[in-house]
Amino acid sequence: MLRLARDAGASTVAWTIDYDALALGRQRALQSALEEAGLRAVAVHDAPAVHPDETAAARSADCGRGYRAFAPYVTAWSHAPRAPVADVPRFASLPLVSEPLPTAHELGTTAPSQAASESHARGALAAYLAAPVLQYSAARNVPAGEPTARLSAALAFGTLAARTVLAELDVRARDPFLLAEEHVALRAFARALAQRDFFLQLAWFFEDAPDAPLQPRMRRFPFARNHPALDAWHDGRTGYPFVDAGLRQLRATGWMHPRARLVAASFLCFDLGVDWRVGRDAWEALLEEDDAALATGNWQWVAGVGADLAQFPRIYNPRKQARAFDPRGAYVRRWIPELRHRPDADLFGGAQAPERQLSLELFDGATYPPPVVEHEAAARAFLRRYGDFMREVRR
């Protein structure tokens, strides 16, 4: 960076802060090197919609270090001042020698599924706010329904700013012809942005143990690092169609629907009892977005070891989730061809006797497997372990 700044004749170097703990350390080292060389270094909070210090300013407890609970955070976030959305900057053309960007093939993957540019990201945002956002309340839960925004990669790589999204959302909300339920959808979308900011401020204020549970008591909980069914979970062959559809969608597209993410992550942590970091690291290699701070925050939230201070872990029942959010099996049928021609009753998983599961007819030479664990029994066993652990902690 120092060499690039000198070649460009720059007097100031500015960058958007990356909230991952390792990146924060590198950025501090970069700032010191630049300042020692006589250059001005400016690190800006452009990733969140609301600056972490703006929400922390409303907090008197814990020396203003930020929020560990989401409910009071979102209240502070809603009332915090927002930085204005500036005009698009103009970039100078400089004859600098640069290596070409790596190709998809060099990175071991195929061509990207989406174009990557600011104009493309802004176009996608405009198209989403034109109409689909008004169905967001349902779209975030029903994977076969209306599309979600799919802006996570653009936000992660900086081709779109969260402040821009929130400002455009405010404009959309001023439409006098919106129905009450459409206003509810817009508020739900804004709340999703707030949750993204919440995890970023957690990484900013609680940097000391980035790979450890935010809750100190849970750092000793005996999550396993392996399980006989771990490969089945990776491959989308757990015998629970809703879980498997999400995992296969991820492998095929680099993205997974938010509801499926919750259920698949819960299955790993509670049905299989596997450490949340195993899942986080597995998905990091597959997801199109790349934001370590958000990945850690979300996985800790699901595993019940982070900012979510519920008394007991929220264990998602994959059968009930399928019945509630994919009752006709459209999502499952799309991603699991072995079940494409099965009746709806066969698409929830785990309820059928093993012999019926094994009798599902061949589809392109493949059969769909029986459940790798029985959900109710696995959930009860995990809760017993959790209860025993908590009693031991309180002694």
**Sequence-distant (≥ 6) Cβ neighbours of residue 354 within 8 angstroms:** 370
pLDDT digits (tens, 9 = 90+) for 149-194: 999 999 999 999 999 999 999 999 999 999 999 999 999 999 999 9
Cα-Cα-Cα-Cα torsion 114, 116, 122, 125, nearest 10 degrees, comes to 30
Q: According to the model, what pLDDT value does residue 354 have?
A: 41
- Helices 241-253 and 318-325 cross at an angle (nearest 10°) of 70
pLDDT, greater one: 107 or 282: 282
* Of residues 283, 286, 271, the one with CA closest to residue 224: 271
Contact 19, 49 (CB under 8 A): no
Q: Could you tell me the pTM of the whole model?
A: 0.90
* Of residues 223, 383, 259, the one with CA closest to residue 313: 383
Q: According to the model, what pLDDT value does residue 183 have?
A: 97
Q: Which CATH number is correct for 218-394, 3.40.50.300, 1.10.579.10, 3.40.720.10, 1.10.260.40? A: 1.10.579.10
In this structure, the strands spanning 12-16 and 40-44 are parallel
Q: How confident is the model at residue 363 (pLDDT cuts 50, 70, 90)?
A: very low
Residue 229 phi/psi, 5-degree rounding, is -100, 10
Between the alpha carbon of residue 192 and those of residues 185, 303, 376, the distances in Å are 11, 19, 30
Tokens of 237: 């062959």
Q: How confident is the model at residue 310 (pLDDT cuts 50, 70, 90)?
A: confident
What is the CATH number assigned to the segment(s) 45-84+116-208? Answer: 1.25.40.80
Percentage of residues in the chain having pLDDT higher than 70: 91
The Cα angle at residue 384 between residues 382 and 388, in degrees rounded to 5 = 120
Residue 384 has pLDDT above 70, yes or no: yes
Rounded Cα gap, residues 226 and 228, in angstroms:
7
Contact 114, 127 (CB under 8 A): no
Counting every residue written for the chain, the total comes to 395
Average pLDDT over residues 352-361: 44
Strand-pairing partners, residue 16, are 44
Q: According to the model, what pLDDT value does residue 140 have?
A: 97
Q: According to the model, what pLDDT value does residue 351 have?
A: 47
Average pLDDT over residues 317-343: 96
Rounded Cα gap, residues 346 and 204, in angstroms:
46
Rounded Cα gap, residues 235 and 251, in angstroms:
8
* Of residues 139, 141, 383, 136, the one with CA closest to residue 262: 141
Neighbours of 49 (CB within 10 A): 25
pLDDT digits (tens, 9 = 90+) for 262-277: 999 999 999 999 999 9
Q: According to the model, what pLDDT value does residue 345 have?
A: 84
Domain extent listing, the chain = 45-84+116-208, 218-394
Tokens of 352: 């059928």
